[in-house]
Amino acid sequence: MKYFTELNYSLGDEDSAVEYHLLPHGARSVAAVAGSGGRILPLLAKEPGRLCCFDILKKQLHLTRLRVESVRALELEEFAAFWGYPPAPMAPKERKHRFRSFPLPGDAAESLDALFERHGWAEIIYMGRFERMFKSLAWINHFFTGRAGRRLFDCETVEDQIDYLESSFPDLRWRLVLALLANSAVLNSILYKGDFPRKNITGSIYANFHRTYDRIFRSIRLKESFFAQFSFFGRLVTREAGLMEVNPEIFDSIKHAIQHTQVEYVHGDIVDEIANRREGYNFVSLSDVPSFLPTASEALYLRDLRPGLGAGAVVVTRGNLRVIKPETLGYEDISGSLSGLCSREKTQLWHVNAYKRGADHEPSL
């Protein structure tokens, strides 16, 4: 797939609060898709004995390693500034100096150094393809909705947001923006380079996007939603909207866990690697990997994972416009218990599902 050939995410499109709350403290062995690393650090905060980060793209693994090493070396405000969080991102010259002081393996240091040089050592959290795409879309959004659209972010409470939506928000112009965003050809060409997952959920892309943003506007403080801020500004405008990694309590937990948790970085397909390793993982965070699996095998990923999981292991998956319903023989579907967590998830993009592996004596496929 062309999509999986360069840095796709530097911040990402997931609020990892669901996985964070599902993962028990002190689990023996955890496996997760690396992504930008922003979805890894909250899991590390739960102090697992071992955390294995998988990705089919080396650059994403390198960026994840950098996130871990920068937590190890920096205090919270330095960490936030290094990555480019508001309100005071680090100057490019200082970012370059700090980066070159981190003890990264040669291939990671060389690859990331070249990437950061191409971007002038600007804020790292905006360097991924996804983040750059939203910078373009935010410009289009501002062209249509202008200051009236952005004033929604001046609201202090969800109640204020609802009042503004119903009195002053430029709804018709916003619907035009959504119509453009909902054009699968646009998304395919800008972000996925021809590998856009085929939609299988009910309703049009437009209807789903409209519903997603309406949930955000009416249930999440926009000062805390990085996805909403990306959509209107192309960047974060408040620290509150940052990933969990810049929450002071979470950051302290991550920094403590780094001292004793074994973190491993594995270049490969997470489903195949877990199945072949047979290490008895207790928790697996798959992100939206099932959405990209071949049609012939997409429903079998739980069966394929089972040999590498311990009894009682929990597998968490996400899907946006394409949601895979797996065969669940040998598992308990615990997705119904997630509604409260999902209602607070700050992107409102995802259908999140979770499955608990049964004991070894239970039948398997």
Confidence of residue 5 (pLDDT cuts 50, 70, 90): very low
The answer to the question of residue 325 being in a domain is yes
pTM recorded for the entire structure: 0.92
The answer to the question of residue 76 being in a domain is no
pLDDT recorded at residue 58: 95
The answer to the question of residue 87 being in a domain is no
The answer to the question of residue 64 being in a domain is no
The answer to the question of residue 362 being in a domain is yes
- Strand pairing class (29-33; 50-55): parallel
Inter-residue contact 362 to 330 (CB < 8 Å)? yes
The answer to the question of residue 307 being in a domain is yes
Number of structural domains (the chain) is 1
Dump pLDDT digits (tens) for 105-119: 999 999 999 999 999
Domain with residue 329: its CATH number is: 3.40.50.150
The answer to the question of residue 229 being in a domain is yes
Cα separation, 243 vs 258, whole angstroms: 18
Chain centroid offset of residue 154 CA: 25
- Average the pLDDT over 156-182 and give the result: 94
pLDDT recorded at residue 278: 85
Query: Which ranges of 121-204 would DSSP assign to H, the alpha helix?
Result: 129-150, 158-167, 171-181, 184-187
pLDDT recorded at residue 146: 96
The answer to the question of residue 106 being in a domain is no
Domain range enclosing 298: 1-57+129-365
Dump pLDDT digits (tens) for 176-207: 999 987 775 555 555 454 456 788 888 888 99
